[in-house]
Amino acid sequence: MADDGNRVSDQYPELFHYTTVCAFEKIYNSQTFWATHFEDLNDRSELRRFRLKLIGFVAPIIREIFHKRMQCDTQFGKKVDSHGGIDAVVDQEAATQLDVLDRNTFGEGGFRDTFLCSFCAHDAQSYAAKHGLLSQWRGYGTGGGVAIVLDTYGIEKSMKHEKDVFSHPMNHIGDVKYDCDDTGIQKAFCDVFKLFPEILNVFYSGQEPSYDRIFDHFVQGSTLVKHRGFHEEREVRIVVTHRPTDPDSIFYDRALDSKPKKVIRYTRRGDSEVRYIELFGEAPLPIERVIVGPSRIQNLNYQRISDLVKGSKPKIDVVKSETPFVG
């Protein structure tokens, strides 16, 4: 995770952003990346991977609370039995707790406008670092794609600048945790796992729990945990949230009143519209090189990109991937 003591750049000096040739031209000319609204991702189900981990974590805690209460409260025990037994009730309660947390976090008055921008990370001396990842190239077909190779520390510096300028309570870059790594998930989003047992005990004692202490790590976990099937991508994500405008929201921070927020823009995907914000743009992107992916028109794409970045300072190297095109 990215913080003052453990930056993403310490682990991954370079980040790779795979895209089309046309998209690269737009990125280069504007010196910006687009971060997509979390509700408009191609696969929205991936944002539920962290929830599944949490349900598995909180269910035994709820079960223990209910079991103790059933031992000393026969009426409560009868009520549980009438609702299908303790297993059914616990499953429902765990889902309800996560519904409440999710609604308070991403619903009205919360971080409803959360945006994501994705990159891949490869080992420095690996084939993928030199020629790109085969699974990514397969997505671009005969037209081919490109991998924009960026200096990670340069991205972190740009993000720090944006955090200082804009009213975004979360402006975070972190490596994606895959759902096969329970230890890594619990360590990365430790506030949730450390404080949720206390929150549940407070709730089931009839008091009002304070969820706000775990919101930051819940947002990060919800946006940075992904299915294990995508592990080879070693994804790194930027997560940006807009500040809620409702003064009654627990996320409202008057200290951010004087700062602007990113303009939400719209683009088209098929028959739908997609919301996004533009990241960076005030300084040149820290592009180190561009890998031109395999395709039937690789030479043409190489020429097109070489002409575009010619004369750039610092110099941007353009190389052809040696991965063969099969299509």
Rounded CA-CA distance 236/8 in Å is 8
Residue 253 lies in a domain: yes
Per residue in 103-148, pLDDT tens?
888 888 788 899 999 999 999 899 999 999 999 999 887 889 999 9
Residue 183 lies in a domain: yes
Residue 120 lies in a domain: yes
Spell 303-323 as b/e; 16+ CB within 10 A means b: ebbeebbeeeeeebebbebeb
Give Cα 99 distance to the centre of its chain. Answer: 20
The pLDDT value given to residue 5: 54
* Average pLDDT taken over every residue of the chain: 90
Rounded CA-CA distance 116/50 in Å is 16
Residue 91 lies in a domain: no
The domain of 127 spans 8-45+115-320
Residue 131 lies in a domain: yes
Residue 251 lies in a domain: yes
Residue 147 lies in a domain: yes
- How many structural domains does the chain have? 1
Rounded CA-CA distance 148/21 in Å is 10
3-state class (DSSP) for residue 37: strand
The pLDDT value given to residue 243: 83
Tell me which range, 49-58, 160-169, 302-311, is most confidently predicted by mean pLDDT: 302-311
Tell me which range, 91-105, 251-265, 301-315, is most confidently predicted by mean pLDDT: 301-315
Residue 160 lies in a domain: yes
- Residue 251: which pLDDT band, with cuts at 50, 70 and 90? confident
The pLDDT value given to residue 3: 45
Over range 314-322, report the average pLDDT: 95
DSSP at 281: -
Q: What pTM was computed for the model?
A: 0.88
